[in-house]
């Protein structure tokens, strides 16, 4: 478990832009976090995505712990899908589009299943209207998995 002070740091790093409604920031150091799974959205956005998680989130995935404990943070990174200039059948990341965050704090975010949401473009949060859509979609489809779509992707030959 993260100490309360560390949880607060993950959810609201000082001076960082925060999402409307939830007050979630892009967590420091997320680019070094462990990989959980990739995703591809064909239509309408045509994006490649990667979901990473902090230690609390990854430990919960590995142990099959649901709901995720407080302090778990998931970050989804997305890029436009481009055909590889080097090998036509392959797709590669084009321009970066969004960074999205889900931060677990079952008390603070009791009204949204215990998760606070943030969507950022170029480091800045998008508007309230977009943040009003987050919980509805996650709740409508994956409530039974603690509102989390992404399943842990085990690499070939590893556990
Ligand atoms: C219309 C449905 C929909 C809406 C609206 C939506 N999401 Fe998601 N979200 C998904 C799907 C599907 C995934 C699984 C990964 C993928 O396919 O990109 C996902 C994955 C995520 C993840 C990775 C953890 C997980 O659940 O797999 C985060 C973080 C996330 N979304 C944040 C947000 C935020 C922030 C918003 C609002 C600004 C939002 N989402 C709105 C459908 C939605």
pLDDT at position 1: 46
For ligand 1, residues with CB inside 6 Å are 39, 41, 49, 51, 74, 76, 100-102, 117-119, 130-131, 133-134, 137-138, 148-150
* Contacts for 13 with CB less than 8 Å, ≥ 6 apart: 25, 26, 27, 28
User: What own/partner pairs with CB < 8 Å and gap ≥ 24 does 3-7 have?
Assistant: 6/71, 7/70, 7/71, 7/105
Low-confidence ranges of the chain (pLDDT < 50): 1-2, 5, 8-9, 11-12
pLDDT at position 159: 66
Going by alpha carbons, the residue nearest to atom 43 of ligand 1 is 137
Going by alpha carbons, the residue nearest to atom 3 of ligand 1 is 137
Residue count of the chain, please give it: 159
pLDDT at position 80: 98
C-alpha 88/C-alpha 11 separation (Å) is 41
pLDDT at position 15: 76
Burial (CB < 10 A; 0-12, 13-18, 19+), residue 27, is buried
pLDDT at position 14: 57
**Dihedral sign, Cα of residue 41, residue 44, residue 45, residue 46:** positive
Radius of gyration from C-alpha coordinates of the chain? 16
How far, in Å, is the centroid of ligand 1 from the Cα of 86?
Answer: 31
Largest CA distance in the chain: 49
Residue range 13-28, pLDDT digits in tens: 557 899 999 999 999 9
Going by alpha carbons, the residue nearest to atom 19 of ligand 1 is 149
What's the half-sphere exposure (Cβ side, CA atoms, 13 Å) at 75? 24
């Amino acid at each position: 478990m993260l100490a309360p002070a560390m949880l607060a740091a993950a959810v609201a790093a000082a001076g960082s832009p925060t999402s409307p409604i939830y007050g979630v920031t892009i967590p420091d150091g997320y680019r070094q976090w462990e990989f959980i799974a990739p995703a591809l959205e064909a239509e309408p956005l045509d994006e490649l995505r990667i979901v990473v998680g902090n230690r609390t989130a990854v430990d919960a995935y590995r142990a099959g712990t649901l709901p995720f404990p407080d302090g778990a943070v998931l970050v989804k990174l997305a890029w436009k899908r481009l055909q590889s200039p080097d090998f036509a059948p392959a797709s590669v990341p084009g321009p970066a589009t969004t960074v999205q965050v889900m931060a677990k704090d079952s008390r603070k975010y009791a009204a949204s299943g215990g998760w606070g949401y943030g969507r950022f473009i170029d480091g800045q949060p998008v508007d309230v209207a977009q943040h009003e859509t987050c919980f509805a979609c996650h709740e409508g489809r994956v409530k039974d998995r603690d509102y989390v779509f992404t399943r842990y992707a085990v690499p070939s030959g590893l556990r």
